[in-house]
């Protein structure tokens, strides 16, 4: 009984399946379409939008059909064959076009010609193939000439078909890989050029019909000779050849490489669009063009584009003739003398202008349009969301909100963090960069561009800066003694180090261009030379760095001015602030950085690294005292040094808190890797030994005793406060006295004390006693009222994350130190990944450098656990992040999802974080609206 029922059900299902055979072809045109704009996965971007333009918007789209991406998948999964039903489907759809156009494919009297174009889900400009004029054969040519009365036009179309088809179908899709410059297209191009020279004409349109006819004969003979095959003279053979070539081109080298760069999945497949040909090359009443509904370079809201009279689409892109401007807003230095379409064909221009307005209203975005005018009749061939640069993206987003075309949530999603970054950094002029090859490559540690003269030490970098010149500081690696030189240099290039190495961290904090881990550098400090790319460079030679990509170039390339003056930046960021729910703070260690951070919109400091006061400007004296403290021989000596340090520390903290008035300042207790502070220069060592009253031998013994096998896991962070409580007490006093004095001066100071590198709640309990005692002492001494403070900890050791429930009971906030948390979760040293991480990435063992992009699966799981447990213990626990990931957009989105109170990042990244936080919130709002 059961068996029978199952059988019956199976039969019905099979019947249904037969009835509902998979639909592989979707037609469009003449005010109707089987698909629509939402069907990008199936029809590709181009096919979906053609359907939308034809079916929904009733725009003049030449009739055609789209073969779905599923056929591409089938083709590659089934040894380059098609589904059984495809042939009949294509033929039926071709018939449909024939009915609509009243032309027949292959007809001798009234032939229909079609184009075949690829169209994946995401646009892959220039990566895949297009073939025009399919259907022209010995038989159909006379019919076309009779119909159009224009032999020149027909032979021009035919020579284009031979060129495209032999190149795309007969050579590339057949897997023939000619040497560079010896491909069939190049050969045929050469013949065309030769003919033009012979005839003394510069423009293709001036070649007479009979010459073109002869050229077509020669073309076909050459194709036969080179590719050992006849050029097909059967329209159906041409059509299927072209369709197959588009599918084949999905896995062509160019397309694969492009997908790898753009992160487009390889299994998406492309659709194929077959469409009635319309001709822009039918004389002076015809034209073809590419336009944007707004200027993609500036964001200016006027219709913008170029066109060519008497030409086919490829001519505009190929740059053979200088295209003319659409209107006065589109004219440039090369085209301003040429007549605009608005003047030449006012009626068509008006129609096109109305269409572009309609398209923007419909798609709510700037669109990139391709069109053809055939004898004064306008046809729309494509529309897609247009690519744009950072300046334009920001301008458009703001304008479209004003125009009520999009919501503020949509607007913040219209600008990528990379585009916003373009507005913030000095950069190499892309035109200058396009023409040259890099001579070396390292890790892109600090984005932007820098050009300048090579120097090999900090002093020389400072000297150059003082002389008003740009320096590129080339070092094996950098250490705290290089700081001033790093600040003075326009760019930094190091041989060793990873993305969170000292140089990288500092450079990013300053928004300075920096490349680290450029392993191939051979530096000779004695000769003051560096070898790379097979060449030796001397001090004073010029280099250009692209810190965004990690490329080093010879010579000084042209730079674009930093986008600081962009008039829209502030307005756009204000819009982001309206949308975001998470706060954005800065990692800042000086008054100067705090002021900068406020300018960039930081709402407080999430990490003030006290030990950074021992680097850089005016650090000589405090650094000297710190060194005395580190190298002291007794408790007494150390306590004296600690007291000596107090006024310096207080001064720095107070100035920074003042600059951040009204906002919280998280001061982290010292976390110095002690060995980094032992001087390496002999004269500095001697000076210190003298101050300590010890011999050089004793000095060396003490320095050696500080040596640790694994300093990153050694005597640092809270461990220093546990072994030397006076250090915690002094810092706490410095924090509270600064705050108390500011409050008395009427400045709103909000100190937050942060304990680093915690692994157990008992460490916090021990330090909190010291902090509280210092607070009580300061309040008693200063009699200040309303001095509030909070105590929190960094979560940067996995054990603290695991035991977050206990830790939260003793803290007011958690700040995830994801640099150390990543280091300790992976067991990867943050300073030594250069020797193995590139191989991990190359082999695909890891997808990304976890020090750059937060490892959401592993480290993220610890964070998720810690937030949940922490808030369980203390529902109002403040949660933030202050590791380098705090400025990484993907990581910011993760923090938003996990309910963080704030992210904190270097001052220069604050705008990016404001955008990323807004985008995360906007996605929430839009997803809710969709439900």
Asked if residue 611 binds Mg ion (CB under 5 A), the reply is: no
Closest CA to 920 of 405, 409, 399, 423: 409
Residue with tokens 């006295």: 737
The whole-angstrom separation of Cα 111 and Cα 701 is 95
Q: Interaction with ligand PEP in 48-67: which residues (CB under 6 A)?
A: none
Main-chain phi, psi angles of 5, to 5 degrees: -60, -45
- Which residue in the set 241, 244, 442, 817 belongs to the binding site for Mg ion (CB under 5 A)? 817
The two structure tokens encoding residue 917: 């936080």
Nearer to ligand PEP, 292 or 816 (CB): 816
- Which residue in the set 818, 825, 852, 906 belongs to the binding site for ligand PEP (CB under 6 A)? 818
Among ligand PEP, Mg ion, none, what binds residue 315 when CB lies within 5 to 8 Å by partner kind?
Answer: none
Asked if residue 831 binds Mg ion (CB under 5 A), the reply is: no
99 annotated as belonging to a binding site for a ligand: no
Q: What is the residue-wise DSSP string for 880-928? A: EE-SGGGG-HHHHHHHHHTT-SEEEEEGGGHHHHHHHHHHHHHHHHHHH
- C-beta of 668: minimal distance to Mg ion in Å? 9
Q: Which are the catalytic amino acids?
A: 502, 882
Q: Produce one character per residue of 667-697: b if its CB has 16 or more CB atoms within 10 Å, e if not.
A: bbbbbbbbebbbbeeeebbeebbeebebeee
CB 657 within 8 A of CB 751: yes
540 annotated as belonging to a binding site for a ligand: no
- Which residue in the set 820, 849, 855, 888 belongs to the binding site for ligand PEP (CB under 6 A)? 820
- Which residue in the set 622, 817, 880, 911 belongs to the binding site for ligand PEP (CB under 6 A)? 817
- In what helix (H) or strand (E) does residue 683 lie, and over which residues does it extend? helix 682-692
Residue with tokens 């585009």: 419
CB 582 within 8 A of CB 896: yes
Burial class (CB in 10 A: 0-12, 13-18, 19+), 543: buried
Three-state DSSP class for 193?
helix
Nearer to Mg ion, 277 or 607 (CB): 607
Asked if residue 759 binds ligand PEP (CB under 6 A), the reply is: no
The two structure tokens encoding residue 770: 């010291």
Asked if residue 606 binds ligand PEP (CB under 6 A), the reply is: no
Asked if residue 819 binds ligand PEP (CB under 6 A), the reply is: yes
The site map against Mg ion for 757-796 (x = CB under 5 A) is ---------------------------------------x
Q: How many residues of this chain interact with ligand PEP, rule: CB under 6 A?
A: 10
818 annotated as belonging to a binding site for a ligand: yes
Asked if residue 880 binds ligand PEP (CB under 6 A), the reply is: no
- C-beta of 819: minimal distance to ligand PEP in Å? 3
Asked if residue 129 binds ligand PEP (CB under 6 A), the reply is: no
Closest CA to 771 of 753, 758, 748, 786: 753
Q: Produce one character per residue of 247-269: b if its CB has 16 or more CB atoms within 10 Å, e if not.
A: bbbbebeebeebbeeeebeeebb
- C-beta of 609: minimal distance to ligand PEP in Å? 6
Q: Produce one character per residue of 548-585: b if its CB has 16 or more CB atoms within 10 Å, e if not.
A: bebbbbbebbebeeebeebebbeebbebbbebbebbbb
The site map against ligand PEP for 558-597 (x = CB under 6 A) is ----------------------------------------
- C-beta of 797: minimal distance to ligand PEP in Å? 10
Q: How many CB atoms lie within 10 A of CB 773?
A: 15
In the DSSP assignment, the letter for residue 845 is S
- C-beta of 837: minimal distance to Mg ion in Å? 19
The whole-angstrom separation of Cα 461 and Cα 474 is 10
81 annotated as belonging to a binding site for a ligand: no
Asked if residue 702 binds ligand PEP (CB under 6 A), the reply is: no
Among 219-227, 303-311, 477-485, 812-820, the segment contacting ligand PEP (CB under 6 A): 812-820
Asked if residue 619 binds ligand PEP (CB under 6 A), the reply is: no
Asked if residue 370 binds ligand PEP (CB under 6 A), the reply is: no
The whole-angstrom separation of Cα 594 and Cα 609 is 12
- C-beta of 814: minimal distance to ligand PEP in Å? 12
- C-beta of 822: minimal distance to Mg ion in Å? 10
- Which residue in the set 820, 831, 849, 869 belongs to the binding site for Mg ion (CB under 5 A)? 820
820 annotated as belonging to a binding site for a ligand: yes
Asked if residue 446 binds Mg ion (CB under 5 A), the reply is: no
- Which residue in the set 671, 737, 763, 849 belongs to the binding site for ligand PEP (CB under 6 A)? 671
Residue with tokens 């006024």: 647
Residue with tokens 């447990």: 869
The whole-angstrom separation of Cα 114 and Cα 93 is 12
- Which residue in the set 507, 669, 882, 903 belongs to the binding site for ligand PEP (CB under 6 A)? 882
The whole-angstrom separation of Cα 793 and Cα 774 is 18
Nearer to Mg ion, 408 or 675 (CB): 675
Among ligand PEP, Mg ion, none, what binds residue 818 when CB lies within 5 to 8 Å by partner kind?
Answer: ligand PEP
Among Mg ion, ligand PEP, none, what binds residue 241 when CB lies within 5 to 8 Å by partner kind?
Answer: none
Among ligand PEP, Mg ion, none, what binds residue 607 when CB lies within 5 to 8 Å by partner kind?
Answer: ligand PEP
- The CA-atom distances, in angstroms, between 199 and each of 61, 195, 207, 771, 826 are 38, 6, 8, 91, 70
- C-beta of 831: minimal distance to Mg ion in Å? 12
- C-beta of 714: minimal distance to ligand PEP in Å? 13
Asked if residue 133 binds ligand PEP (CB under 6 A), the reply is: no
Nearer to ligand PEP, 342 or 855 (CB): 855
Among Mg ion, ligand PEP, none, what binds residue 71 when CB lies within 5 to 8 Å by partner kind?
Answer: none
Any long-range contacts for 75-80 (C-beta under 8 Å, 24+ apart)?
75/244, 75/247, 76/247, 76/250, 76/251, 76/269, 80/244, 80/247, 80/248
Binding-site members for substrate are: 609, 668, 796, 817-820
Q: Which residues bind ligand PEP (CB under 6 A)?
A: 607, 609, 671, 796, 817-820, 882-883
Binding-site members are: 609, 668, 796, 817-820
Q: Which residues bind Mg ion (CB under 5 A)?
A: 796, 817, 820
Binding-site members for Mg(2+) are: 796, 820
């Amino acid at each position: 009984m059961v068996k029978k029922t199952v059988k019956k059900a199976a039969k019905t299902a099979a019947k249904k399946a037969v009835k509902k055979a998979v639909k592989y072809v979707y037609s469009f045109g003449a005010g109707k379409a089987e698909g629509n704009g939402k069907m990008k996965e199936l029809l590709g971007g181009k096919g979906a939008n053609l359907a939308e333009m034809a079916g929904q918007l009733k725009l003049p789209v030449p009739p055609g059909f789209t073969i779905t991406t599923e056929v591409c998948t089938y083709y590659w999964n089934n040894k380059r064959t098609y589904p059984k039903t495809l042939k009949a489907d294509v033929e039926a759809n071709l018939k449909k076009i024939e009915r609509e156009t009243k032309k027949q494919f292959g007809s001798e009297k009234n032939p229909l010609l079609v184009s075949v174009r690829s169209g994946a889900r995401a646009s892959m400009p220039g990566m895949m193939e297009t073939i025009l004029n399919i259907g022209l054969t010995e038989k159909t040519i006379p019919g076309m000439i009779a119909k159009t009365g224009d032999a020149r036009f027909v032979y021009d179309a035919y020579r284009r078909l031979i060129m495209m088809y032999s190149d795309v179908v007969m050579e590339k899709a057949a897997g023939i890989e000619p040497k560079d410059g010896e491909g069939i297209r190049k050969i045929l191009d050469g013949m065309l050029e030769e003919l033009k020279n012979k005839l003394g004409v510069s423009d293709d349109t001036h070649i007479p019909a009979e010459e073109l006819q002869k050229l077509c004969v020669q073309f076909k003979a050459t194709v036969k000779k080179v590719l050992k095959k006849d050029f097909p003279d059967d329209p159906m053979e041409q059509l299927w050849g072209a369709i197959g070539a588009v599918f084949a081109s999905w896995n062509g080298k160019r397309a694969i490489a492009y997908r790898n760069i753009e992160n487009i999945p390889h299994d998406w497949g492309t659709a194929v669009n077959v469409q009635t040909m319309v001709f822009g090359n039918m004389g002076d009443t015809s034209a073809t063009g590419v336009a944007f509904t707004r200027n993609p370079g500036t964001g200016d809201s006027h219709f913008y584009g170029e066109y060519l009279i008497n030409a086919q689409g490829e001519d505009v892109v190929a740059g053979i003739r200088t295209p003319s401007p659409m209107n006065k807003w589109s004219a440039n230095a090369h085209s301003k003398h040429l007549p605009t379409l608005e003047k030449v064909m006012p009626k068509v221009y008006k129609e096109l202008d109305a269409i572009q307005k309609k398209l923007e209203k419909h798609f709510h975005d700037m669109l990139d349009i391709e069109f053809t005018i055939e004898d004064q009749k306008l046809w729309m061939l494509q529309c897609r969301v247009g690519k744009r640069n950072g300046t334009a993206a920001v301008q458009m987003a703001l304008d479209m909100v004003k125009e009520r075309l999009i919501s503020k949530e949509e607007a913040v999603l219209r600008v990528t963090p990379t585009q916003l970054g373009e507005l913030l950094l000095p950069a190499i002029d892309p035109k200058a960069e396009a023409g040259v090859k890099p001579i070396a490559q390292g890790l892109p540690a600090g984005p932007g561009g820098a050009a300048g003269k090579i120097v090999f030490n900090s002093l020389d970098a400072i000297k150059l800066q003082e002389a008003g010149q740009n320096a590129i500081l080339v070092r094996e690696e950098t250490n705290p003694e290089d700081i001033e030189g790093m600040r003075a240099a326009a760019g930094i290039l190091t041989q060793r180090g990873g993305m969170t190495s000292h140089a990288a961290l500092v450079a990013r904090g300053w928004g300075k261009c920096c490349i680290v881990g450029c392993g191939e550098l051979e530096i000779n400090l004695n000769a003051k030379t560096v070898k790379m790319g097979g060449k030796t460079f001397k001090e004073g030679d010029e280099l250009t760095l692209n810190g965004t990509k990690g490329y080093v170039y010879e010579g000084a390339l042209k730079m674009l001015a930093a986008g600081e003056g962009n008039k829209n930046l502030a307005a756009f960021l204000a819009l982001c602030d309206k949308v975001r729910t998470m706060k954005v703070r800065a990692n800042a260690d000086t008054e100067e950085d705090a002021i900068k951070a406020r300018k960039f919109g930081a709402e407080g400091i999430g990490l003030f690294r006290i030990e950074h006061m021992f680097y850089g400007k005016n650090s000589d004296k405090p650094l000297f005292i710190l060194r005395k403290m580190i190298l002291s021989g007794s408790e007494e000596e150390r306590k004296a040094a600690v007291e000596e340090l107090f006024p310096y520390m207080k001064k720095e903290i107070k100035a920074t808190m003042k600059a951040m008035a009204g906002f919280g300042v998280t001061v982290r207790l010292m976390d110095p890797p002690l060995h980094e502070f032992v001087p390496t220069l002999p004269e500095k060592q001697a000076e210190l030994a003298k101050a300590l009253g010890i011999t050089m031998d004793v000095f060396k013994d003490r320095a050696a005793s500080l040596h640790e096998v694994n300093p990153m896991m050694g005597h640092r962070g809270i461990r220093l406060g546990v072994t030397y409580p006076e250090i915690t007490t002094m810092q706490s006093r410095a924090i509270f006295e600064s705050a108390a004095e500011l409050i008395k001066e009427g400045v709103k100071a909000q100190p937050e004390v942060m304990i680093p590198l915690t692994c157990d709640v008992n460490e916090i309990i021990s330090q909190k006693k010291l902090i509280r005692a210092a607070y009580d002492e300061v309040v008693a001494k200063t009699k200040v009222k309303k001095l509030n403070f909070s105590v929190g900890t960094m979560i940067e050791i996995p054990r603290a994350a695991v035991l977050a429930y206990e830790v939260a009971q003793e803290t007011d906030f958690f700040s995830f130190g994801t640099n150390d948390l990543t280091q300790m979760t992976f067991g990867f040293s943050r300073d030594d990944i250069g020797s193995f991480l590139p191989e991990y990435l190359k082999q695909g063992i890891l997808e990304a450098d976890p020090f750059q992009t937060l490892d959401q699966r592993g480290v993220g799981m610890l964070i998720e656990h810690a937030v949940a447990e922490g808030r369980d213990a203390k529902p109002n626990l403040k949660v933030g992040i202050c590791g380098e990931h705090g400025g990484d957009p993907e990581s910011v989105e993760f923090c938003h999802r996990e309910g963080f109170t704030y992210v904190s990042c270097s001052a220069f990244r604050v705008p990016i974080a404001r955008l990323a936080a807004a985008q995360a919130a906007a996605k929430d709002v839009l997803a809710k609206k969709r439900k």
